[in-house]
Amino acid sequence: MSVILSGKEVAEALKESLIKEVSELKGKGYTPCLKIVIVGDRPDSVAYIKGALKRCSEIGIEASVLELPGDISEQEFIKKIHELNNDESVNGMLIMRPLPSQISEDRVKYEISPEKDLDCFSPINVAKVMAGEKEGFPPCTPQAVIEILDHFKIDPAGKKVAVVGRSMVVGRPLAMMLLQRNATVTICHSKTKDLAEETKRAEILIAAVGKAKMVKKDMVGEGAVVIDVGINVDENGKLCGDVDFDDVKDKVAMITPVPGGVGSVTTTVLAKHVIKALKQQKSL
Ligand SMILES: NC(=O)C1=CN([C@@H]2O[C@H](COP(=O)(O)OP(=O)(O)OC[C@H]3O[C@@H](n4cnc5c(N)ncnc54)[C@H](OP(=O)(O)O)[C@@H]3O)[C@@H](O)[C@H]2O)C=CC1
Ligand SMILES: Nc1nc(=O)c2c([nH]1)NC[C@@H]1CN(c3ccc(C(=O)N[C@@H](CCC(=O)O)C(=O)O)cc3)C=[N+]21
C-alpha cells in the first residue's frame, strides 16, 4: 500500500496561515474581497463555486458570485468585466471557464485587469508563469499541485515528470511551473503515441485529462509519485479521479486521492490569491 498524499492536510495547514493573515489585515481596516463570475450554470463550475465560497467564508474573505445569463453577448460580458476592474471594493476575480461559445476566450482574456486576475486568464499572467516570475498569479489548480509537492517535501528538481493534459487551466502552466523547479518535463496529450510508455518512465506522474479512472497499473512506474488532478463522476455517480486508484495503489509509492486531493487545495490557493491581490493593490 502506498502513502496517501492528503490534500485536506495541505489545505488545513495553508488555511491556518491564511486565517492569521486575514485577521491582521482586518486589524488594519482591510477585508479581502473576491468576485466569482459564472456565465450559465455548468455543473463543474457550480461545484467549484460551492467549495470556493465555503473556503473563503472559513478564512474570513468576502466572496460573492456574479451570475450572468448563458446567452449574454460578448459585448455585455466585457462591460461587466470592466465594471469589476473599476470597482475599488473588489480585489480579485475568478472567471469560470469554459465560457459559452458566443464569447471568445481569445478576445475577452485581454479585458480582465491582470492585478485582479486570480486564475491566470490574462495573457500578462500567462507570460509571467512562462517566465517563472513570482508576483503574477499562476492558475490555482497547478499551484495546488505545487503546494502538495512542497508540503510533502517532494522536490521535482532533476526528476522525470510526465504531465498528461495540456489545457491552459491545468496541464500547460503546470508543466512550466515544474520546469521552473528544474524538473525534466514531458507533456502528453490526446495525440501522444504510446502514452503508457511515456507515463511509465515518469518518477512523478500528473494526470489532468478529464477521463474517469483512465490511468491504470500498466501506465505507472514502480515507486512513482502520482498526482491526480481529475475530478470526474464514475458509473455509480461518485467523485473519482483520472487515475484508477485501486488498480495502481500497490504499485506506486505515493498518490493523491479523489476526493480529498488536489481539489481540496485548489480553493485554498484561490483564497491565498485574493489576499495576495489585496496586499499588492494596497502596497501592504
Ligand atoms: N482539482 C481541481 O481543482 C481541478 C480539476 N480539474 C479537472 O482536471 C481534469 C482536466 O481538466 P482540464 O485541463 O480543464 O481539461 P481539458 O478537457 O481542457 O483538457 C484535457 C487534456 O487532456 C488531454 N486528453 C484527453 N484525452 C486524452 C487521452 N485519452 N490521452 C491523453 N491525453 C488526453 C487533452 O488533449 P488534447 O489537448 O490533445 O485535446 C487535453 O490536453 C478534469 O477532470 C477537470 O475536472 C480542472 C480544474 C480544477
Ligand atoms: N477558471 C476556472 N478555473 C478552474 O479551476 C475551474 C474552472 N474555471 N471551471 C470549472 C473547473 C472544475 N473545477 C473544480 C474544482 C473543484 C471541484 C470540487 O469538487 N472541489 C471540492 C473538493 C474535491 C476534492 O476533495 O477533491 C471542494 O472544493 O470542496 C470541482 C470542480 C475547477 N475548474
User: Where in the sequence is the domain holding 199, given as residue range(s)?
Assistant: 140-262
| Same domain flag for 88 and 157 | no
Q: Is residue 249 part of a domain?
A: yes
Please give the grid coordinates belonging to residue 208: 489532468
Domain count, the chain: 2
* Pair 242, 255: CB distance under 8 Å: no
Q: Is residue 167 part of a domain?
A: yes
Q: Is residue 56 part of a domain?
A: yes
Specify the residue with its C-alpha closest to ligand 1, atom 21: 165
Please give the grid coordinates belonging to residue 243: 487515475
Pocket test for ligand 2, best of 48, 148, 228 (most atoms within 8 A of CB): 48
Q: What is the pLDDT of residue 244?
A: 98
Q: Is residue 7 part of a domain?
A: no
Ligand 2 and 171: CB distance under 6 A: no
User: Which pTM value belongs to this model?
Assistant: 0.98
Ligand 2 and 268: CB distance under 6 A: no
Specify the residue with its C-alpha closest to ligand 1, atom 48: 141
* Ligand 1 atom with least separation from CA of 262: 1
* Ligand 2 atom with least separation from CA of 267: 28
In this structure, what CATH number is given to the domain that contains residue 226?
3.40.50.720
Q: Is residue 14 part of a domain?
A: no
Specify the residue with its C-alpha closest to ligand 2, atom 1: 96
Ligand 2 and 130: CB distance under 6 A: no
Q: What is the pLDDT of residue 135?
A: 86
Q: How far is the CA of 116 from the centre of ligand 2 (A)?
A: 20
* Ligand 2 atom with least separation from CA of 42: 10
Q: What angle do CA 19, 21, 24 make, to 5 degrees?
A: 110
Please give the grid coordinates belonging to residue 177: 511551473
**Does the annotation list 89 as a binding residue?**
no
| Same domain flag for 32 and 95 | yes
* Pair 225, 201: CB distance under 8 Å: no
Ligand 1 and 209: CB distance under 6 A: yes
Domain boundary among 52, 84, 116: 116
Q: What is the pLDDT of residue 1?
A: 76
**Does the annotation list 113 as a binding residue?**
no
Q: Is residue 129 part of a domain?
A: no
**Does the annotation list 42 as a binding residue?**
no
Q: What is the pLDDT of residue 232?
A: 96
Does ipTM exceed 0.95?
A: yes
Burial class (CB in 10 A: 0-12, 13-18, 19+), 191: exposed
Sequential pLDDT tens for the chain (284 residues): 799 999 999 999 999 999 999 999 999 999 999 999 999 999 999 999 999 999 999 999 999 999 999 999 999 999 999 999 999 999 999 999 999 999 999 999 999 999 999 999 999 999 999 999 988 999 999 999 999 999 999 999 999 999 999 999 999 999 999 999 999 999 999 999 999 999 999 999 999 999 999 999 999 999 999 999 999 999 999 999 999 999 999 999 999 999 999 999 999 999 999 999 999 999 99
Q: Is residue 223 part of a domain?
A: yes
Q: Is residue 82 part of a domain?
A: yes
Ligand 1 and 45: CB distance under 6 A: no
**Does the annotation list 231 as a binding residue?**
yes
In whole angstroms, give the CA distance from residue 23 to residue 1.
41
